[in-house]
């Protein structure tokens, strides 16, 4: 058995593992072994696989290094990449652009330059711009550029899909979220229907779109759909570090629907994930959802409860204050990076969101 074959075997074995520490550690070992062999194609493949593992395993900051090394290798010697590896590299550009927006320490100019570089490379690959318009739409949304959001959404919506587009399920989910940001909730509900019903699925759907639909269902007076979306989605993303932001949305849902007791159970279960957040952009929604649950506990006369964190029973008011302070600090960092007050304004609006007039019953034992 050759050493190269052993590395390929490691790569194959990793595919059989769920995303997380075991898969990542195996792929890190495969990359080291491939580098020792000085086999360019094997190194490229190991980096591609490891970038995927970092991205989906809740460590996107580590994906920057493996991705950029592959990008530099391609620019230096394009012929060392197989065609499928070139496509894989372009595909991963979408993940990198999404992650860049979640790290306020990355300068805005660098983020915008990366977006331009993505478009240049996609044009060189044959003018495949569907995913580029989606990324530009996401950036406009992040920056609070409503005109840009509307313009890039339109281009994304009318541009034909291609082989670098996200899968149908994820593409629909992202477009539904953009529609909601544009104030077009009913269109978002209609667009999301095939994913919600299970017609289109993938490893991150339907839980992603069901979570995104929670506030939309509440705004459009669909409480039963909201309750069902919460039950289904939380079961699928429970305990998933990469879904830390979505878990925050479920906490916020519980706080707003009179289910602060369930919210407390979820918070206690998921709070350890906050000790190692994938990014500041993941941590902030979780902190907001936690703060809302804790505030509702205080408002309903349960402020004397405690939450276990780091081996200490933390009083509800103390933990709420910490969550609010953390969320505000992250929002301020994004605003400093972007030169706006968009994230702070959004945050304060989220923290001030009132509960529903009538509580929304959930099935017992759902938490």
Q: What are the pLDDT digits (tens) for 282-292?
A: 999 999 999 99
- 224-233: long-range contacts (C-beta < 8 A, 24 or more apart)? 226/253, 226/257, 226/360, 227/257, 227/360, 227/361, 227/362, 229/196, 230/254, 230/362, 230/366, 231/362, 231/363, 231/366, 232/206, 232/207, 233/206, 233/207, 233/208
Q: What is the DSSP letter of 202?
A: B
Predicted TM-score (pTM) above 0.85: yes
Residue 154: is its pLDDT beyond 70? yes
**DSSP-assigned letters across all residues of 322-363:** HHHHHHHHHHHHHHHHHTSSHHHHHHHHHHTPPPPSS-----
Q: What is the DSSP letter of 165?
A: S
Q: Quick one: pLDDT at residue 34?
A: 96
Alpha-carbon distance 367 to 164, whole Å? 38
Alpha-carbon distance 161 to 174, whole Å? 14
Report residue 300's pLDDT band, with 50, 70 and 90 as the boundaries: very high
Alpha-carbon distance 248 to 287, whole Å? 7
Alpha-carbon distance 270 to 274, whole Å? 8
What is the radius of gyration, based on Cα positions, of the chain?
Answer: 21
Report residue 364's pLDDT band, with 50, 70 and 90 as the boundaries: low
Q: Is the dihedral of CA 171, 177, 179, 184 positive or negative?
A: positive
Task: Quick: pLDDT tens for 304-322.
Answer: 999 999 999 999 999 999 9
Residue 353: is its pLDDT beyond 60? yes
Other Cβ atoms within 10 Å of 41 Cβ, number: 13
Alpha-carbon distance 43 to 365, whole Å? 48
**Phi, psi dihedral angles at 57 (to 5 degrees):** -100, 10
Report residue 33's pLDDT band, with 50, 70 and 90 as the boundaries: very high
Gap between the terminal Cα atoms of the chain: 50
Average pLDDT in the 126-133 region?
Answer: 93
Average pLDDT in the 84-91 region?
Answer: 96
Q: Is 21 helix (H, G, I), strand (E, B) or coil?
A: helix
Report residue 363's pLDDT band, with 50, 70 and 90 as the boundaries: low
In angstroms, what CA-CA distances link 223 with 220, 230, 256, 356?
8, 10, 12, 10
Task: Quick: pLDDT tens for 239-260.
Answer: 999 999 999 999 999 999 999 9
Q: Quick one: pLDDT at residue 366?
A: 54
Q: Is 196 helix (H, G, I), strand (E, B) or coil?
A: helix
Return the residue matching tokens 């550029």. 145
Contact 204, 220 (CB under 8 A): no
Alpha-carbon distance 205 to 180, whole Å? 18
Average pLDDT in the 165-183 region?
Answer: 95
Q: Quick one: pLDDT at residue 244?
A: 98
| Range in 7-11, 112-116, 363-367 with the lowest mean pLDDT | 363-367
Nearest to 51 by CA among 7, 85, 81: 85
Cα-based torsion angle of the residue sequence 188, 133, 206, 87 in order, rounded to the nearest 10 degrees: 160
Residue 39: is its pLDDT beyond 70? yes
Average pLDDT in the 115-120 region?
Answer: 97
In angstroms, what CA-CA distances link 104 with 52, 109, 113, 339?
22, 12, 15, 11
Residue 358: is its pLDDT beyond 90? no
Nearest to 28 by CA among 9, 4, 53: 53
């Amino acid at each position: 058995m050759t050493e190269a074959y052993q590395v390929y075997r490691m790569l194959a074995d990793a595919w059989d593992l769920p995303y997380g520490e075991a898969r990542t550690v195996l792929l890190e070992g495969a990359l080291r072994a491939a580098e020792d062999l000085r086999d360019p194609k094997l190194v490229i493949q190991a980096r591609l696989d490891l970038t995927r593992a970092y991205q989906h395993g809740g460590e996107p900051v580590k994906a920057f290094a493996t991705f950029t090394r592959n990008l530099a290798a391609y620019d230096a010697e394009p012929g060392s990449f197989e065609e499928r590896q070139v496509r894989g590299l372009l595909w991963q550009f979408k993940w990198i652009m999404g992650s860049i927006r979640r790290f306020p320490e990355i300068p805005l100019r660098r983020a915008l330059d990366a977006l331009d570089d993505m478009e240049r490379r996609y044009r060189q690959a044959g003018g495949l711009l569907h995913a580029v318009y989606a990324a530009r739409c996401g950036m406009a949304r992040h920056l609070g550029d409503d005109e840009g959001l509307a313009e890039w959404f339109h281009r994304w919506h009318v541009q034909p899909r291609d082989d670098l587009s996200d899968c149908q399920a994820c593409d629909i989910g992202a477009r539904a979220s953009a529609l909601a940001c544009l104030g077009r909730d009913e269109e978002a509900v209609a667009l999301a229907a095939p994913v919600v019903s299970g017609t289109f699925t993938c490893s991150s759907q339907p839980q992603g779109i069901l979570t995104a639909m929670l506030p939309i269902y509440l705004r459009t007076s669909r409480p039963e759909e909201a309750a069902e979306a919460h039950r289904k989605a939380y079961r699928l993303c429970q305990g998933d570090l990469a879904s830390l932001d979505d878990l925050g949305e479920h906490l916020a849902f519980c706080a707003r629907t009179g289910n602060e007791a369930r919210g407390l159970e979820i918070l206690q279960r998921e709070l350890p994930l906050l000790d190692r957040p994938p990014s500041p952009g993941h941590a902030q929604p979780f902190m907001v959802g936690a703060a809302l649950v804790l505030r509702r506990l205080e408002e309903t006369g349960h402020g004397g409860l405690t939450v276990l964190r780091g081996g200490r029973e933390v009083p509800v008011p103390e933990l709420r204050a910490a969550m609010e302070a953390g969320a505000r600090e992250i929002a301020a960092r994004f605003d400093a990076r972007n030169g706006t007050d968009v994230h702070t304004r959004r945050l304060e609006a989220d923290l001030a969101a009132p509960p529903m007039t009538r509580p929304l019953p959930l099935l017992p034992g759902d938490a």
